[in-house]
């Protein structure tokens, strides 16, 4: 079953958070764990549905999958204080406290977003900015070698709408040492429109299955 996050906000005390900056990965990280970040503000939006299809495909091949709906999480903007560069952890206490450890534990990151102004949604951009701790020791070595996938949905054809978002994400992942493992860029505008595109949904499921096999 896909583990869903973002429905309920909880405190750090309730989470009993254990955020490790140990450069040696936990043995549990060796499992095929795939995390999906849903950047759409619309539940059941096109990028959201494509992400669901990918995660379902991965789960069908034995992967452990988690989905975080960013619009339902409490994530503040990066304050450029650089505290994380020293400690590996942001000074702000919000839902990134559970998202960052989840990203560290996963082998594959799947970013799903509609294309807004040729870029990502505000929800995804907030989370990306708060991944700044991964740019510095002691966490930098913990993300190198992971894999990333991008899913987009846009009103116009992806060739015209998505190149800037795609380029931004590829450059960011390359900077972190995260391998680009695939992308699915789909033209779909009205909410749920992608349901009328079974080929795109099938591609998403197939990509998830491929990721679960470690390919």
What whole-number percentage of the chain has pLDDT above 90? 78
In a domain, residue 103? The reply is yes
Q: What domain range is 42 assigned to?
A: 35-212
Residue 59 domain flag: yes
Q: Is residue 6 part of a domain?
A: no
Extract the runs of DSSP E, i.e. beta strands, from 60-120: 64-69, 108-114
Does residue 19 belong to any structural domain of this protein? no
pLDDT at 214: 86
pLDDT value at position 98? 92
pLDDT band per the 50, 70, 90 thresholds, residue 18: very low
- CA 46 to CA 48: how far, in whole Å? 5
Q: 140 Cβ partners below 8 Å, 6+ apart?
A: 134, 176, 177
Quote the number of domains for the chain.
1
Mean pLDDT over each residue of the chain, to the nearest integer:
87
74-101 pLDDT per residue, tens: 999 999 999 999 888 899 999 999 999 9
Site of tokens 């409490």 = 74
Which tokens is 4 given?
Answer: 């869903």
Give pLDDT, residue 4: 61
The tokens for 162 are: 């998505």
Do the domain assignments include residue 25?
no
The CATH number of the domain holding residue 117 is 3.40.50.360
Answer whether residue 160 is part of any domain: yes
Q: How many helices (H) and strands (E) does the chain have?
A: 9, 6
């Amino acid at each position: 079953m896909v583990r869903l996050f973002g429905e309920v906000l909880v405190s750090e005390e309730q989470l009993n958070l254990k955020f490790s900056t140990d450069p040696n990965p936990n043995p549990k990280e060796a499992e095929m764990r795939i995390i999906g970040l849903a950047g759409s503000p619309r539940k059941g939006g096109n990028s959201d549905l494509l992400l669901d299809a990918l995660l379902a495909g991965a789960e069908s091949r034995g992967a452990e999958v988690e989905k975080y709906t960013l619009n339902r999480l409490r994530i503040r903007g990066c304050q450029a204080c650089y505290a994380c560069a020293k400690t590996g952890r942001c000074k702000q206490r919000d839902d990134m406290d559970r998202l960052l450890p989840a990203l560290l534990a996963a082998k594959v990151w799947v970013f799903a977003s509609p294309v807004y102004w040729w870029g990502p949604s505000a929800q995804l951009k907030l989370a990306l900015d708060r991944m700044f701790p991964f740019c510095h020791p002691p966490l930098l070595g913990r993300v190198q070698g992971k894999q990333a996938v991008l899913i987009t949905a846009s009103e116009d054809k992806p060739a015209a709408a998505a190149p800037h978002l795609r380029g931004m994400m590829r450059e960011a992942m390359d900077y972190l040492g995260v391998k680009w493992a695939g992308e699915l860029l789909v033209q779909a505008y009205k909410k749920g429109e992608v349901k009328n595109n079974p080929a795109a949904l099938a591609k998403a499921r197939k990509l998830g299955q491929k990721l679960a096999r470690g390919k």
